[in-house]
Amino acid sequence: MNSITTFYLSRVIGQKAFDTNSKCIGIVKDLLVDPESSTHSSGHPVVNGIKINRNKKSSFYSFQNFHIEKESGETKVICDQLIELPAEKINSNLYLVQAVLDNQIVDMNGRKLVRVNDVRLVTIANDTFAVAVDIGMEGLLRRIGIATPLKFAFSLFGASIPSKFILWEDVETIDSSNLNIKLSKSYAKLQTLHPSDLADIIEDLGRKASAEVFSSLDNEKAADVMEELETDTQVHILESLSIEKAADVLDKMPADEVADILDALEDDKAELLLNEMEKDTSQEVRELLVYPDHTVGSIMSSEVMSFNLNLTIEQVLTELRNKKPEFETLYNLFVTDENEILLATFSIRDVVISSPDVRISQIMKPSPVHLRDYQKINEVAEIVSKYNLLAIPVVDKKNVLKGMVVIDDIIEDLIRKRRTNK
């Protein structure tokens, strides 16, 4: 039967470590874990090393030859043999005191940042694992050494001290202190969060950590998160990225969103990004940047799907499958002539319920409600409300289709104005 010992990080940090002859070998300063280790079926990270101050110098040793003993309520750190920890583990492992204790981590279930008050560890046979982080009041009281007497005092009145633990598998650490970890870890758990949740977390982080976390995301995820960030955070993130990385992320975003972001940047920086972006995307963005802030063109999306009126439903479906447009693009589908003059609209519902051989001309709605690209934004909300529309086509003075305004952008613009006017 395997022996099991549970203990808290706060109980060993600052304590003396002894050899088997009860001789002090130094003071425990930190424990090192491999966050990606899976040597145990639980998947909890194994403690690889221990940092000890000896003779006013920090040394790192393998934790395999250390064990924890509890005696009369005291926690003791005993070493059977001192074996130096390999340099690659010193550089790549996570330092529990330096990177976790008293630092912010992401509670993956709560989708929020929390502060760590203590770390719970368990030794099973010859391995020690980090199993949970303590974010409750009890962890703080334990740190100052009054948890036990207070728990007893509370129990006399039938009460208890609030405690709250998060299992390690539900935790993502945010470590900005170790460059090697920064380069080797990709915050894989964060990739599973919804972009809105991840944006909230990034906005709550410090400037250095927020840039680090964002940089770890793949371009697709980063683009989705960028759309959800506040303008000042977008600017900070873009300024922290290389021109190449920033351009790759912007290339994955809708042109109208990119135009809004670049409008908030210095002209020189915006021009560098536009030159680095893909030519077609860059051109779309440049066209949108021409419009003044108060006009419909400044909030419209240039990503629309337009078709010739003689196409069949089958041909429409084929083009939709090939282009795989974003969800918002499907709010409204448009009919244009060879000169891109707007003729009519039809909906995705019309497509779904019609037979494959039916032509667009048979289902389209001529003379659609539309906006002018230089029309004032404050007139849009009334039109959307009056006609109960999710999206409205935008044309220039020659009735050439330039894009569309979707209800999401209208709401976002109204919210932004309300915040500005407070």
Arithmetic mean of pLDDT over the chain = 86
pLDDT for residue 197? 92
Q: What is the pTM of this model?
A: 0.70
Residue 180's pLDDT band, with cuts at 50, 70 and 90, is very low
Residue 351's pLDDT band, with cuts at 50, 70 and 90, is very high
67/385: higher pLDDT: 67
Residues 6+ apart with CB under 8 A from 262: 270, 273, 274, 285, 289
Sign of CA dihedral 53, 54, 60, 65: negative
pLDDT at 381 over 80: no
pLDDT for residue 340? 95
Q: What mean pLDDT is predicted for residues 53-59?
A: 90
pLDDT at 273 over 60: yes
pLDDT at 39 over 50: no
Residue burial 158-177, b: 16+ Cβ < 10 Å; e: rest: eeebebebbebebbbbbbbe
Reported for 141-149, long-range contacts at CB under 8 A and 24+ positions apart, including other chains, are 142/8, 142/10, 142/11, 142/117, 142/118, 143/10, 143/117, 143/118, 148/73
Q: Which domains occur in the chain, in start order?
A: 4-170 (2.30.30.240), 186-290 (1.25.60.10), 306-421 (3.10.580.10)
Q: Which of 30-44, 106-120, 165-179, 220-234 has the highest mean pLDDT?
A: 220-234
Reported for 162-165, long-range contacts at CB under 8 A and 24+ positions apart, including other chains, are 162/136, 162/137, 162/138, 163/134, 163/136, 163/137, 163/138, 163/139, 164/134, 164/135, 164/136, 165/120, 165/132, 165/133, 165/134, 165/135, 165/136
pLDDT at 307 over 90: yes
Q: What mean pLDDT is predicted for residues 355-362?
A: 96
* Strand residues in 108-235 grouped as ranges (E): 112-115, 118-124, 127-134, 165-167, 171-173
pLDDT at 181 over 50: no
pLDDT at 32 over 80: yes
